[in-house]
Structure 1
């Protein structure tokens, strides 16, 4: 079992306070924060744009782009949003 010692009293008090308010252990809180930070760093360093992500999604699942042959009913979709007919 590894231990983590927080030398800064203000930081240790903050972790204790947040853990208590969140209803989790200090270990669980630190883990949650570390996972969130890692995910944020992964997103920043991945360099993947939204467009690149969509391109990959469409390559991996080509059926998403298939046309159904159905005609969209504008009046129906407008009624879902309570919009008046044009």
Structure 2
């Protein structure tokens, strides 16, 4: 089944990719779509990436200190 691209900007992008890679426009579209599908399959959702990172780097235990202006002034050496 043929694919007709009605958007001039998209057609131009396909033509640029085809010229840069030495491909036909059909092969350029196939290359771009295949690459995008592969990229999406290997990507974990952000929630899972953060969960895995948190397992390796857990929050430190609470200290009981109050993080107010005086606390931060003390950290920075201000009076």
Q: Secondary structure at the residue paired with 1:4?
A: coil
Structure 1 moving runs of 4+ over 6 Å: none
Which stretch of the first structure deviates more once superposed, 8-17 or 37-46?
37-46
Residue ranges of structure 1 left out of the alignment (5+ in a row): 48-86
Shift in Å at residue 45 of structure 1? 5.0
> Paired residue for 1:51?
none
Distance 1:23 1:45 in 2: 33
CA-to-aligned-CA distance 1:5-51 (integer Å, 9 cap, x gap): 1111111012112212211001111111111111111112587xxxx
1:37 corresponds to which residue?
A: 36
Q: How many residues align?
A: 48
Q: TM-score, normalised by structure 2?
A: 0.50
Matches within 5 A, 1:3-42: 3-42=2-41
TM-score of the aligned structures, taking structure 1 as reference length: 0.47
Gaps of 5+ in 2: 49-79
